[in-house]
Amino acid sequence: MKILAIETSCDETAAAVLEATESRFLVLSNVISSQIALHNQYGGVVPHLAAREHVKNINHVIKSALKEAKLIIPEVDLIAVTHGPGLGPALLVGLTYAKTLAWQYQKPLIGVNHMDGHIHSNWLEPSEPLDNIFPALNVMVSGGHTELVLMKDHGDYEIIGETLDDAVGEAFDKVARLLGEGYPGGPIISKLAQEGNPQMFDLPRPMLKSKDYNFSYSGLKTAVLYLLRDLGEISEQQKKDIAASFQEAAIDVLIQKTTRAAKEFKIKAILLSGGVSANKLLREYLAKTTQKLEIRFFCPAMQYTTDNAAMIAVAGYFTYKKSGAHSWEQVTMHPNLTL
Ligand code: KG4
Ligand code: ZN
């Protein structure tokens, strides 16, 4: 089955073509046009500017994806499009394009939850086949989400814990800003941290001792703010030490709660996903943890950690396989869609 997928929920205009054969996926093309440079100057994504860029880019991005895959639309078997969560004006661009194509060429259409897409980024070029993995635990870490998701099957999810305030990626972004660095902050912080001492500053681990699986990252960010206020002017080395100490604290809580959940729910595999899954230290710690627990560990290939349409195609495939195509009315904008 050949799937065309479209993703415009935030600041990447993306399209991909995948060939699915018995739950194995071959990425025939994966085109992403990023707007990071545009939004960088505002310190975050500006919704109406994002939508304007999507309108400018979408035609070219979809045509490039089809061309690279050597495919024409009549040969496509399924169209998958992100319908939430995300920025309303941005989502509408991809949705309108996908619905028009589906109507014009009479193709089945699937509206995909962006977060379900992130989960399914693990099925793209995996280190080993993801057979017999359920119940699995998804560690969803992005700019907008920090969630532990108990997965009983594709599409059968229970959120067992989540952040009560800032998401972990958001904390990386805010701390980078406090340190006078740009956006997105995650890659910048982790690079600075490579030459920093994570033991130099003792930062809090909010909610570590709470019995639930919830998180809180705004307190950690505030602790960095107070630390900077106390230190006054900082040296380059101190900046690296703060980055390393912050990263260690942010990851520590994630690892400990994930370990506890893995034991309680007797899960077979941990799946990491979302933009923060690009973090090397988090991957390393989770790999060690799962080895000790004797459970399997999957994390997306680097190029699929950030927003892309290939992951939307995979999630769309499993939804379609389970319950068939969505109706025209079902595929509509849901900015606050949850898993
Ligand atoms: O999933 P994503 O591309 O967008 C959504 O939020 O949906 O995630 C972006 C987030 C940003 O907050 C960014 O700072 C973070 O992922 N990020 C990282 C790293 N690379 C990206 N955080 C920590 N370490 C990284 N290496
Ligand atoms: Zn995302």
Q: CB within 6 Å of ligand 1 — which residues?
A: 10, 142-144, 169-170, 172-173, 184-187, 190, 274-276, 278-279, 306-307
pLDDT, tens only, 55-104: 999 999 999 999 999 999 999 999 999 999 999 999 999 999 999 999 99
Measured CA to CA, the distance from residue 191 to residue 235 in angstroms comes to 16
Give distance in angstroms: CA of 8 to centre of ligand 2: 10
At 4, phi and psi to the nearest 5?
Answer: -105, 125
Residue nearest to atom 14 of ligand 1 (CA): 186
Question: Per-residue pLDDT averaged across 301-318, rounded?
Answer: 97
Ligand 1 pocket: which of 13, 116, 142, 303 to mutate (most atoms <8 Å of CB)?
142
Give distance in angstroms: CA of 114 to centre of ligand 2: 7
Burial 3-25 (b: 16+ CB within 10 A, else e): bbbbbbbbbbbbbbbbbbeeeeb
What's the pLDDT at 221? Answer: 97
What's the pLDDT at 338? Answer: 92
What's the pLDDT at 81? Answer: 98
Give distance in angstroms: CA of 123 to centre of ligand 1: 19
pLDDT, tens only, 231-260: 999 999 999 999 999 999 999 999 999 999
Q: Is the pLDDT of residue 283 over 90?
A: yes
Ligand 1 pocket: which of 32, 306, 307, 312 to mutate (most atoms <8 Å of CB)?
306
pLDDT, tens only, 211-235: 999 999 999 999 999 999 999 999 9
Strand partners, 78: 3
Q: Is the pLDDT of residue 37 over 80?
A: no
Residue nearest to atom 2 of ligand 1 (CA): 275
Would you give the end-to-end CA distance of the chain in angstroms?
25
Residue nearest to atom 13 of ligand 1 (CA): 186
What's the pLDDT at 56? Answer: 95
DSSP 3-state of 21: strand
Measured CA to CA, the distance from residue 271 to residue 313 in angstroms comes to 18
pLDDT, tens only, 109-126: 999 999 999 999 999 999
Give distance in angstroms: CA of 142 to centre of ligand 1: 5
pLDDT band at 51 (very low <50, low <70, confident <90, very high): confident
Instruction: State the average pLDDT for the chain.
Output: 95
